[in-house]
Each structure stands twice: as C-alpha cells, then as structure tokens.
Structure 1
Amino acid sequence: MLVLGIESSCDETGLALYDTQHGLRAHALHSQVRMHEEYGGVVPELASRDHIRRAIPLLEKVLTDSSIARGDIDAIAYTQGPGLAGALLVGASVACGLGLALDKPVLGVHHLEGHLLSPLLASDPPEFPFVALLVSGGHTQLMRVDGVGQYELLGETLDDAAGEAFDKSAKLLGLGYPGGPAISRMAEFGDPAAYKLPRPMLHSGNLDFSFSGLKTAVLTLVKNHPANICEQDKANIARAFVDALVDVLTAKCVNALKQTGLKKLVIAGGVGANRQLRESLNAAAVKRKFRVYYPELEFCTDNGAMIAFAGAMRLQINPNAAKKDYAFNVKPRWPLDSIREI
C-alpha cells in the first residue's frame, strides 16, 4: 500500500510517500522559520498562506524523487489536528481535493500520533509496548503506548510546554526565534555552578510537568542584571535553564518507566533533537538499564513522513479507515488519548 502524507499543522509544510512493503519512498519539507523570525514567533495567517504556496510544488518533488505517478497512490493521509486551524485547513483541502481528483480515499491523522510513531521509521525501531515522551513547542506529555491507537496518558504539562519554555526563555535572553536551538547552543558555554534554577514538580509524586515557573525564574535573573548582560552571563543563565528543564524531563521519564514496569522509552517531537536531553536520557538509560529510542533528526520536527507512516499503520489495521468522503473538517484541539484503535 502506497500512502501520501501531508503535514501542515503549524509552520512546516511536509509531504511524503510511504510504501508498506518498501518503506519511505520520498519526503520533502519546507520550513517557515525565516519568514516568522522577524515577528518573534509564528504568525498564523502567514503560515496558512505559505502552506498554500508550498503544497503542490512539494507534491511534485516527492513524486519526481520517487518516480511514482499520481495514479499509483493508494490513499492520502493528512494532519487533521491538533494545530493552527487555518494551516490545518490547507492540508485537509489539498488532501481531499487530490483524493477527489484521483478517486482515492483520504484519512485524517492525529499530528501527535505521527510524532509518536516516527521512531518506528528508524532502522532499529522499538517494539510495543513502550513509554513515550512527546516533547515539542506545544506539547509535553508522557504516554504508555501498547500499539497503534492504544494510548494511555500518564502525565502532561499543566501550563507551558517544554519547547515553549525554551523559546520564551531564549527571547528573554535576546536570542531571537526559534529560541530552542539557540539557547541550547549558548548553554554549552555556561558555567553550571553560576546559577541554580528550580526544578518544577520534580518531587510532585505524579508524572505531570510545569514549566511556567522556570520561565519566570529566568525572567527574574534577567531583571536583576544591568541593562546589558554580558555574553558569558547569558550563557550561564542558559545553562541553568537547560539543566533544570532536562533534569525534570529525565526524572519524569525514569519514574514513568518505573510505574509501568516497561524498559523501552521513545522520545518524539522537536525537543527530542536537543543534545543535552539526549545525553541525560542516555546516561539514565545506562544507569537504570532501559533503552531509549529517538526518531531520526530529520523527523524530529513536523514532517510529512510521520503522517504518511501513521496513516499507513492505521490502514494496515483497518483498510476501510480511509474514505472517499471529501467533506472535511479539522480539529485544532484534539487530545491524543481520545484516539482508539480502529
């Protein structure tokens, strides 16, 4: 089965072709980072308009790269939610319009399910069941995963997501947008003993997160400095922030594995590319005798491959999940644990 995947939930336009017999055939991605950079964050209207410009050229690219004709596609999967409503509508309309034109069935996919299953695209994928940490700009959740569509929410953020805290703290340090990679790079030059920031909910007794207080602690440090903070002190604050956030994420993952009795941990989402987080989790895995699985770096951020793959997995469970019903709707808010096996 050959599935075309379309991702347009926020500020990346991604298209890909996944073959259940031969794996990923081709994928193409356009990031809007440069466009949104001058505004310090994603502008939804601009994001939607750019998706419109990019979708068809990216479709042509994946078809050319894979030497596959449009008519050979068996089904089309698209991100139905969660995400920005206008951006989601672009992907949904392209998918359903293409499905109508080609007389192919379409399937709406949960964006986070795409992230959750993306490590299975790796050459050494995990087997079910496992604990998954979904960690991105909009989400921080711990899930127990027993199979496709079999998800149990173990804990989630009560306020800011980890990626959101990265971006906001980076902005406080004048590092611009996107802030996550910038603050992580700066943290490498910081003195770990210079500042100590709180580890929110580290000893809460549950698997929930809270990062708004950590961001506020960074704000307090910045306000207590002179107008112009030297680069070394910025690095010291960045190091304190990254260390605190990584400590919390690592501890909660370890506790989730203890509570479930599982020995496999999957990391998914954009923050999963963070070097400090990977180093901390790898060290914990050696000490605690569990294994960590990461998606390939190119699949950590939003991409079409994860949507094509998630769609293909669902269609293997139920070939009738995709419909030739081209009246579409999107779900800007859509809890992952509300999804069930088809």
Structure 2
Amino acid sequence: MIVLGVESSCDETGLALYDTQHGLLSHALYSQVAMHEEYGGVVPELASRDHIRRAIPLLQQALADAKLAPQDIDAIAYTQGPGLAGALLVGSSVACSLGLALDKPVLGIHHLEGHLLSPLLAKEPPEFPFIALLVSGGHTQLMRVDGVGQYTLLGETLDDAAGEAFDKSAKLLGLGYPGGPAISRLAEFGDPLAYKLPRPMLHSKDFNFSFSGLKTAVLTVVKNHEEKVIANICEQDKANIARGFVDAIVDVLTAKCVNALKHTGLKRLVIAGGVGANSQLRASLNEAAAKKRFKVYYPELEFCTDNGAMIAFAGAMRLQINPDAAQRDYSFNVRPRWPLDEIKVV
C-alpha cells in the first residue's frame, strides 16, 4: 500500500510517499523560516498563502523522486490538527481534492501522532511499549505508548512549552527567529557556572512541566544587567545566559523522562518533535541512558521538524491495522485544537 502524506500545520509544507512494503519512497519539504524571520515569528496568513503555492509543486517532486504516477497512490493521509486553522485548511483541501480527483480514500491524522511515531522511520525503530517525550514548538508532553492509537498522557506543560521558552528567551537575547537553534548554538560557548537559572517543577512528584517562569528568569537577568540594554551585553555574557537557560531546560526534561521510566518500569524512551534535535538534550539523555540502563531513540534529524513523511507513515500504520480507517468522504473539517489523548484507538 502506498500512502501520500500531506503536512501543512504551521510553517512547513511537506508531502511524502510511504510504501508499507518498501518503506519511505520520497519526501519533499519546503520551510517558510526565511519568510517569517523578518517578522520574528510565524504570520498565519502568510503561512497559509505559501502552503497554497508550494503544495502541488512538492507533490510533483515527491512523485518524480519515487518514480510514481498519481494513480499509483492507494490512500492519502493529511494533517487534520492541531495547528494553524488556515494552514490546516490548505493541506486538508489539497488532500481531499486529490482524493476526489483520483478516487482514492483519505484519512485525517493527528499532527502529534505523526511526531510520536516518527522515530519508527529510523533504521533501528523502537518496539512498543515505550515512553515518549514529545517536545515540539507548542507542546511538551510525556506519554506512555502501547501501540498505534494507544497513548496515555503522563504529564504535560502547564504553561509555556519548551519550544516556546526557547524562542521567547532567544528573542530576549536578540537572537532572532527561529530562536531554538540559535540559543542552542550560542550556549555551546557559555560558562555553565555563570548563571544558575531555576529548574521549574524539577522536584515535583508528577510528570508535568512549567517553563514560563524560566523565561521570566531570563528576562530578569537581562533587565538586571549593568548595561540595561540588550544590544550592549557582550557576546560572552549572552552565551553565558544562553548556557544557563539551556542547561535548566535540559535538566528538567531529562529528570522527568528518567522518573517516567522508573514509574512505569519501561526501558525504552522515544524523543519526538523539533526540540528533539537539540544537541544538549541528546547528550544529556544519552548520558542518563548509560547510567540508568535504558535505551533512547530519536527520529532522524530531517524528521524532527514538521514533515510529510511522518504523516504518511502514521496514515500507513493506521491503515494496516484498520483498512477502513480511510474513507471516500471528501468533505473535511480541521481541528486547530485537538488533544492527543482524544484520538481513537484503531
């Protein structure tokens, strides 16, 4: 079975083809980062319009790379939510229009399920069950995953997600957009002893997170700096603040993951989402895994951010379990807000 995946939840347009017998055949991706950079963040209307421009050329690219014709597609999976409403509508309408034109069934996919299952695209995929740390731009969640569609929420952020804290703190340091990779690179040159920033909820007896206070702590450090103006803070001091911030987030994420594994008795940890590409987080988790004797799995770096491959794969997994999951009903609705634990067990 060959499944076309369509992703358009935010600022990346992704289309991919996945074959249940031969694996990922192709994936084409366009990032809007350069367009949104001058605004310091994603502009929803611009994102939607750009998805319209990119979707069909990316479909043609994915088909050409896989050496397939449109009629070779057996089903179409698309991101139904969560995400930006206008952006989701573009991908949904493209997918359902293609389904109608080609007489192929369509299937709406939860964006976070795509992220959650993306490590299974790796050469050495994890086996179920496992603990998953989902750290994308607007989400920080710990889940127990027993199978496709079998997700138990253990804990989540109570305010800012880790990705949001990265972007907001980077902006405070004048690093621009996207802030996450920029602050992570700068932290490599920082002194870990210069700033000891708070580790919110590090010692709580649950698996929830809170990063709003950490962002506020960065703001306080910046405001209390003797120069008062961020433009006058020397680059070394910026690096020191960045290092203190990154270390704080990494310590909290690592500790919560270790505690979740201990609580459930599981020995497999999966990291999914854009923050999963962070080198400091990976180093910390790998060190903890060696000490605590568990195994940690990451998606390939190209699949950490939003992409069509994870949507095609999630669709294929659901269709293998339930071939009737995709329908030839081409009316559609999107779900900008859609809790992961609400999706149905297949």
Query: Are residues 1:271 and 2:275 paired?
Result: yes
| 1:25-49 deviations in Å (ceiling 9; x for gaps) | 0000000000000000000000000
Per the normalisation by structure 2, the TM-score is 0.99
- Aligned residue number for residue 181 of structure 1: 181
Contact 1:191–1:239 under 8 Å retained in 2 = yes
| 1:156-203 deviations in Å (ceiling 9; x for gaps) | 000000000000000000000000000000000000110100000001
- Aligned residue number for residue 155 of structure 1: 155
Query: Are residues 1:24 and 2:29 paired?
Result: no
- Aligned residue number for residue 213 of structure 1: 213
Q: Helix, strand or coil: the match of 1:320?
A: helix
Q: 1:308 aligns with which of 312, 329, 339?
A: 312
CA distance in 2, matches of 1:122, 1:163: 23
Give structure 1 stretches of 5+ with no counterpart.
none
Give structure 2 stretches of 5+ with no counterpart.
none
After TM superposition, the structure 1 = structure 2 runs for residues 275-314 of structure 1, keeping only pairs within 5 Å, are 275-314=279-318
After TM superposition, the structure 1 = structure 2 runs for residues 110-189 of structure 1, keeping only pairs within 5 Å, are 110-189=110-189
CA distance in 2, matches of 1:234, 1:8: 34
Query: Are residues 1:329 and 2:333 paired?
Result: yes
Q: Helix, strand or coil: the match of 1:323?
A: coil
Q: 1:136 Cα deviation (Å)?
A: 1.2
CA distance in 1, matches of 2:53, 2:162: 31
Q: 1:123 Cα deviation (Å)?
A: 0.3
CA distance in 2, matches of 1:341, 1:207: 23
Q: 1:217 Cα deviation (Å)?
A: 0.1
After TM superposition, the structure 1 = structure 2 runs for residues 191-230 of structure 1, keeping only pairs within 5 Å, are 191-225=191-225, 226=227, 227=229, 228-230=232-234
- Aligned residue number for residue 233 of structure 1: 237
| 1:191-237 deviations in Å (ceiling 9; x for gaps) | 01101000000011100000000000000000011121000000000
CA distance in 2, matches of 1:264, 1:302: 23
Q: Helix, strand or coil: the match of 1:163?
A: helix
Contact 1:15–1:28 under 8 Å retained in 2 = yes
Matched residue count: 342
CA distance in 1, matches of 2:27, 2:37: 25
Taking only the aligned residue pairs, the percentage that are identical comes to: 85
Which amino acid in the other structure matches residue 320 of structure 2?
Answer: Q
CA distance in 1, matches of 2:118, 2:340: 15
Which amino acid in the other structure matches residue 119 of structure 1?
Answer: P
Q: 1:340 Cα deviation (Å)?
A: 2.4
Contact 1:151–1:340 under 8 Å retained in 2 = no
Which amino acid in the other structure matches residue 333 of structure 2?
Answer: N
Q: 1:150 Cα deviation (Å)?
A: 0.2
Q: Helix, strand or coil: the match of 2:155?
A: strand
CA distance in 1, matches of 2:49, 2:337: 21
| 1:238-270 deviations in Å (ceiling 9; x for gaps) | 000000000000000000001111000000000
Q: 1:339 aligns with which of 325, 337, 343?
A: 343
After TM superposition, the structure 1 = structure 2 runs for residues 76-95 of structure 1, keeping only pairs within 5 Å, are 76-95=76-95
- Aligned residue number for residue 246 of structure 1: 250
CA distance in 2, matches of 1:231, 1:52: 40
- Aligned residue number for residue 70 of structure 1: 70
Per the normalisation by structure 1, the TM-score is 1.00
Q: 1:339 Cα deviation (Å)?
A: 1.4
CA distance in 2, matches of 1:296, 1:302: 12
Which amino acid in the other structure matches residue 281 of structure 2?
Answer: L
RMSD: 0.4
CA distance in 1, matches of 2:23, 2:136: 26
- Aligned residue number for residue 103 of structure 1: 103
CA distance in 2, matches of 1:138, 1:32: 17
Q: Helix, strand or coil: the match of 2:15?
A: strand
CA distance in 1, matches of 2:320, 2:94: 23
CA distance in 2, matches of 1:51, 1:238: 33
Q: Helix, strand or coil: the match of 1:13?
A: strand
CA distance in 2, matches of 1:277, 1:104: 41
CA distance in 1, matches of 2:118, 2:192: 33
